[in-house]
Structure 1
Amino acid sequence: MAAMLDELMGPKRNVELGKDTTVTFDDPDICKYYIVGFCPHDMFVNTKADLGACPRVHDDNLRLEYPKNNQRRIRKNLEKLKTNEENGQKKEDMRKLREEQEMARLDGEIKKCMADAEKAGEEGLVAKCQELVDKAEQLEKQKASIMERLNSNIPPTAPIDESAIKIMEVCEVCGSMLIKNDAQCRVEEHLSGKMHMGFSKIKVTIEELRERIRKRDEENEKERQRAREERERRERERRRSRDRDRSRDRDRRSSRRSRSRSRGDRERRRSRSRDRYRRDDRDRRNRDRGDDRDRRYRR
């Protein structure tokens, strides 16, 4: 009843008025398997792998919104789905192994009972012989019951000739025991069965999710590569810009030094020119004074 109310009114139907009733992908009451693809609880109804009713809510709106959401947890759901499949397969394999071990134990006990019964008959112990035979028959019934459980997934067939030994094989998809080289109609019936198709869908979905993750990782790697190349390009531009600035600074310093040397040369030339002028002027004055003295003497 609670599950039906959740489906109709939502998982937050009992939340107090005024509180946030928005349902998100991370809500613990939401079935993550359903929104990512399908719920395993719906796949194996009335089969040996029946998981029962799903305890969480199957929200169709979230299922439609999920592919558009940027905060998807594809990898997490993939691993959960894979774990669910592996756990189910392991449980089935362990059950079959235990039953096969039990059958082997019963075989040993049956052989021992029959050997002891034969020995008791030879010794004239009729009551003990009958008791051992009855025990062997009970063990045979237990063995037949286990065999029936092991082969319960195989459709009923005509009575099997006890002398004919059927070679069994394991279905690689769902783990069911099948008769090797069985009739094609029975093989097709198994392949179209709910359990086989359910496990097949799980495997296909896992591969699809892995492929989507692989493509997403490739796109992310390409984006990171483009970002690295862009950063390297900008860094090269900055280095070239710094080199140009340093070159201009060197040119300016060289130009200033050149101008400074030119001014110094001009100053030195002007200074030498002034010195020559002063010397020439001094020499003229000295010659003039000498000429004046000579004229005075001649008078």
Structure 2
Amino acid sequence: MAAEQRKLLEQLMGGGMASRTSQLPITDPKVCRSYLVGSCPHDLFTNTKADLGACPRVHSEALKAEYESLSDSERKKYGFEHDYIRDLQSRIEACNRNIDTLQRRLEKTPDEVRQTNALLKSISDLGTTIANGLLEVEILAEMGEVGRAYDEYYKVRHAQAAKADKEKELKALSETSGPSGHQKLQVCDVCGAYLSRLDNDRRLADHFFGKMHLGFAQMRKAYESFPKEMRSMVGGGGGGRRDHQQHHHQDNDMGGVPTGPGGGFGDGWNKGGRGPRSGGFRPRGPRRGW
């Protein structure tokens, strides 16, 4: 879509833009190296809630073709792949941080934890009271103290009812605690979107095959396609950090991944591979891999 818009703009301008970009050498810092090597992240999320806006660097099909025609040794000399890996890693790590933040929001609050612990203690204490009371009733009955045994049994029945009420409270708290509560939310491990476990297959498919989710999946796949050694040189395949100034690369002024409720990523949930961090869910289509 972005490429088509760019072509249309060039036509409207009478080819002036094309002539200027064609004059740029492949090493010009104004050229987008992510676009030369693979796919620029700015082109992956247009018209979605994760839209990064227009790339501030030049996307030239002629320069991309020139780069693709180079031999492996010539490409290695330029080092553009390292720039591309760094760009991917930066955006993937930002997405992963956002996913972690959103996941923590689904966990119980300190107050909910205190309520849960209090209910568990009450249930335990009532259980002990019931057990001791039943034993007392048995002893009193054997002694022929029928009246006292009846009174004690009445106390046991009261404790049993109180225990049942506490158990209902605990169940209700477990089902409604955290923002996920009644909606049963979970965070997509690929793009950071919230989705409900109650969503039907069509809604899940809309997310799995949506432009935003596929964009993040494509970035993660592209990142993982590079050798682990190369990823480690750039910044650590496990999300580690190094001084990026020691490498020749383009400045990262393309912005980050949106944050906030739902990560600004809209609705969705799935379980797909994540990079640079390992683990996470694996995308297998709707209703699978849950």
Shorter-chain TM-score above 0.5 = no
TM-score under structure 1 length normalisation: 0.41
The structure with higher relative contact order (CA 8 Å, sep 6+) is 2
Which of these two proteins has the greater Rg computed from alpha carbons?
1
TM-score by length of 2: 0.42
